[in-house]
Amino acid sequence: MARHYERRAEEVETEGYDLVLAAPRTWLALLRGEMDEVDRLEPIDLGRIQHEYALPAAAARLDALAALQKRSLIEREAPPLMHPRTYLEPFALRALGAVREDELLIGQAIDRFNTMGLIWHAEQSRKLFVQT
């Protein structure tokens, strides 16, 4: 059923909404394990965009880079996003922890997600302990 709605959305999609759709498209592809689709998603220059959709797009990008094990990109993109008590901090911690196989960073991400009430993201982070 979800794919039906995705196809329908593509039929009525208008130009200029890449940033709005970046996070849901990325997270759907990750949840489905469609890594080739994740790798094909266009990167967005989040540093030049001042828009409320930039936050989830940046979070999804960090998740995608971590899933693809693109360590050099994460090492470059995550640190500037690690401002304490901000939405992107736990995503940056988790991405760095995943590619470095660092349980301490992943644990910090879990704590931050829980503090923010982002329980689903905390649970997804816990799964990384099994993989590291």
- Grouping H, G, I as helix, E, B as strand and the rest as coil, residue 86 is coil
The pLDDT assigned to 60 comes to: 92
Average pLDDT over the chain, rounded to an integer: 85
Of 129, 78, 75, 74, nearest to 101 (Cα)? 129
| pLDDT tens-digit map of 111-123 | 999 999 999 999 9
Q: Which stretches in the chain have pLDDT values below 70?
A: 1-2, 5-6, 8-16, 42-49, 129-132
Provide Rg for the chain, Cα atoms.
15
